[in-house]
Amino acid sequence: AQSVSQHNHHVILSEAASLELGCNYSYGGTVNLFWYVQYPGQHLQLLLKYFSGDPLVKGIKGFEAEFIKSKFSFNLRKPSVQWSDTAEYFCAVGVSNDYKLSFGAGTTVTVRA
Amino acid sequence: DGGITQSPKYLFRKEGQNVTLSCEQNLNHDAMYWYRQDPGQGLRLIYYSQIVNDFQKGDIAEGYSVSREKKESFPLTVTSAQKNPTAFYLCASSILVRPNEQFFGPGTRLTVL
């Protein structure tokens, strides 16, 4: 089974700072990649996804992620964060046509006004 | 308004009691999943079901049971055999052709006293 590593457990930023969250996985075959976000008191929402094609994926709320196959990475970025981006972020990896998603441990992002 | 509903939002039980968590979806999705979320561990798959009357164990199925009698419903029973049942439980669903792309319900927080 694949494993997913998120490098940061807790990130604290000021508003307008840039954000980058690391995600690496351990499967060598074809994968589907996801970032989910969980805002305080809300359910898990899909932020963006990669299945194939352009490795630079744009999601909701100004987030983007880049798939680098050679590095087994799918890092999440946002150029300028807002207080409302305070949330927990999860990277998830699935093998194509398999039902199992493997999740990273999550990164808590706190944005200070 | 399509989505996944989980009830109740909070659940308290005494140790040794079985408890059943509800999950209903009106997205017409074929596959449904149960995850457990613990702080610092991300989401771990308990059970999943691709079709009615069929389900498979995930990574941490011990102490849990499920049924899938209807397409819309996938209840999870936390049995007294589960050694550490206090957790946040998330239900998800997906379409068959994109099983990795899962949509999540709001979750049930179970506390065993």
* pLDDT for B79: 93
Residue A57's pLDDT is what? Answer: 97
SS3 B60: coil
pLDDT at B68 over 60: yes
Instruction: Check B45 against A100: CB less than 8 A apart.
Output: yes
Question: Which of B59, B68, B88, B100 is most worth mutating to test chain A (most A CB atoms within 10 A of its CB)?
Answer: B100
- Residues B81-104: what's their mean pLDDT? 91
Burial B52-88 (b: 16+ CB within 10 A, else e): eeebeebeebeebbbbbeeebebbbebeeebeebebe
Q: How high is the pLDDT of residue B102?
A: 92
Contact B46, B36 (CB under 8 A): yes
Establish, for the pair of chains A and B, how many residue pairs have beta carbons separated by less than 8 Å: 60
pLDDT at A1: 60
Among A24, A99, A102, A103, the residue to mutate for chain B (most B Cβ within 10 A): A99
**CB distance A110 to A17 below 8 Å:** no
Using H for helix, E for strand and C for coil, what is the string for A28-90? CCCEEEEEEEECCCCCCEEEEEECCCCCEEECHHHCEEEEEHHHCEEEEEECCCCHHHCEEEE
pLDDT confidence of residue B2: 66
Mean pLDDT, rounded, of chain B: 93
Q: What's the rounded mean pLDDT across residues B80-107? A: 91
Chain B nearest-CA distance from A47, in A, is 11
Cβ separation of A106 and B42 shorter than 8 Å? yes
Q: Classify residue A16 by its DSSP letter.
A: T
Q: Is B33 helix (H, G, I), strand (E, B) or coil?
A: strand
What is the phi/psi pair of residue A85, to 5°?
Answer: -85, 0
CA distance B20 to B90: 13
Please check the confidence at residue A41 and state whether its pLDDT lies above 80. Answer: yes
Query: A53-99 pLDDT, tens per residue?
Result: 999 999 999 999 999 999 999 999 999 999 999 999 999 999 877 88
Say whether residue B103 is in contact with chain A using an 8 A CB cutoff: yes
Above 80 in pLDDT, residue A103? Answer: yes
Distance CA B100, CA A101 (A): 6
Q: Which residues contact A110 (CB under 8 A, 6 or more apart)?
A: A10, A11, A12, A13, A86
Region B7-32 average pLDDT: 94
Q: Taking 90 as the threshold, does the pLDDT of residue A28 lie above it?
A: no
Contact list, B94 vs chain A (CB under 8 Å): 99
What percent of chain A is predicted at pLDDT more than 90?
83
Do A87 and A37 touch, CB atoms closer than 8 A?
yes
pLDDT of residue A2: 73
pLDDT, residue B1, reads 57
